[in-house]
Amino acid sequence: MMQQITLQHILLLSTALFFIGVFGLLTRRNMIAILMSIELMLNSVNINFVAFNKYLYPEKLDGVFFFLFVITVAAAEAAVAIAIIIHLYRYNKQIDVSETEEMRY
């Protein structure tokens, strides 16, 4: 018999996803990749929302609503981020964050 998928499994998945995102955020130099890492982190949070809703309060829909809300915000954020990236590209002719250090002391 197949083992039931429990809340712990899903939390493990989302944690793994989150830290993959953090790792990408800290190590990648390409801004697109950084943006993708941020999306990963957001989605790990979304998984948590849905999972907790399903397992702890099945009679409510708050987690699902929040998940939809986060997706919307994420889409807007991606639009802004891509606009910034394009701008940076026009300005620097590349999108490597390690080369973009104007905003320092």
Partner 1 sequence: MNEGLIVTFLLCLPLSAFVVIRLFTGRRWQIFSGYLSTLVLALTTFFAFIMAWQYFFVYGKMDGAYALFVPIDMNWLVFTNDLSINFSIIIDSISVMMLLVVSFISLMVHVFSLAYMKGEQRYGYYFAYLSLFTFAMLGLVLSGNLFELFMFWELVGISSYLLIGFYYTKPSAVAAAKKAFLVTRFADFGFLIGILMLGGVANNFDIVQMIRSIAQQQALWEGAGTSFLGMSVLTWACLLLFMGAAGKSAMFPLHIWLPDAMEGPTPVSALIHAATMVVAGVYLIARFFPVFQMDATVLYVIAIVGAGTALFAAIIACTQADIKRVLAFSTISQIGYMMLALGVDDSLNGLHEGYTAAMFHLFTHAFFKSLLFLGAGAIIHTVHTNDMHEMGGLRKQMPVTHISFLIACLAISGIPPFSGFFSKEAILSAAYSNHKWLYAIGVVTAAITAFYMFRLYFSIFWNKPLSPVFIKKEGSWLIRIPLIILAVLVLITGFIPFGNFISANGKPLPLEVHFGFSVIPVSLSVLGIFYAAVLYYQQNNLPALLEKSFGWFYITIRQKFYIDEVYLFITHKIVFNVIGNTTAWIDKNIVDGLVNWSAGITYQFSVLIKKVQSGKIQQYVLYFLLGVLCLLAVVLYNN
The site for partner 1 (CB under 8 A) is made up of 22, 25-27, 34, 97-98, 100-105
| Cβ burial, residue 48 (10 Å; 0-12/13-18/19+) | buried
Q: How far apart are CA 5 and CA 9, in angstroms?
A: 6
Secondary structure class of 103 (helix, strand, coil): coil
Which CB sits closer to partner 1, 70 or 97? 97
Contacts of 31 (CB under 8 A, 6+ apart): 81, 85, 88, 95, 96, 97
CB of 27 to partner 1, least distance (A): 8
CB of 58 to partner 1, least distance (A): 29
Which CB sits closer to partner 1, 59 or 102? 102
Which CB sits closer to partner 1, 11 or 97? 97
Single-letter residue type at 13: L
CB of 99 to partner 1, least distance (A): 10
